Chain A
């Protein structure tokens, strides 16, 4: 149980275009999901917290108008990178918060490799 998927697993796009990445919790409902970005040999950096039915909460330094997050259902959050530039090329990982009794644990997706040319 507690499987999280991401789609696509990798994407190449041209500079100036927009790319949408999906994160799904397959066997549990998640009112809270998280989006991370990871550059080569660097740590995962939290970009934003996605809340079902409300606006996302962005970390300091993350442009909310550039990284649009929509958490429209209890099993799906999407991250749209608008007007992508080469510096947005990175590995994007989502996680979904599973609540079981008093336990809370994040389960991570397999990641999406974005390359902007």
Chain B
């Protein structure tokens, strides 16, 4: 059974700081990994999706890396801003032919990020 762990559970940084969020997963047989942002009481916004064959994806100040063999991914946020404050969730999709629905996502508990002005 796939398990996704995110460290740290919470992080507080001053505005302008660069930061790294970590995600690890126990089963390396994944199709892709996705990072989401969730604001309090809201749904999920997809930030970056990395296919299993890729090493990293970038969007603006965000960069996500994937090391499938070691079961790790990181989300790097450059020059953090107060508007980046949210919970960041990591989710993995199983590789095809792994049984059951191939589209089911397994989520971590998230990292609550607070960027202080």
Contacts and interface: CB of A to CB of B under 8 A. Distances in A.
Interface residues of B, number: 20
Q: Is the interface of A mostly helix, strand, loop or mixed?
A: strand
Contact of B109 (A6, A42, A91, A109): A42
Contacts, number: 50
A107 B110 CA distance: 18
A106 B105 contact: yes
A59 B41 CA distance: 24
Interface in B1-54: 4, 36, 41-46, 49
Interface in A66-106: 91, 93, 95, 97, 104-106
Contacts of B105: 34, 44, 46, 106
Interface of A: 4, 6, 32, 34, 41-46, 49, 57, 91, 93, 95, 97, 104-111, 113
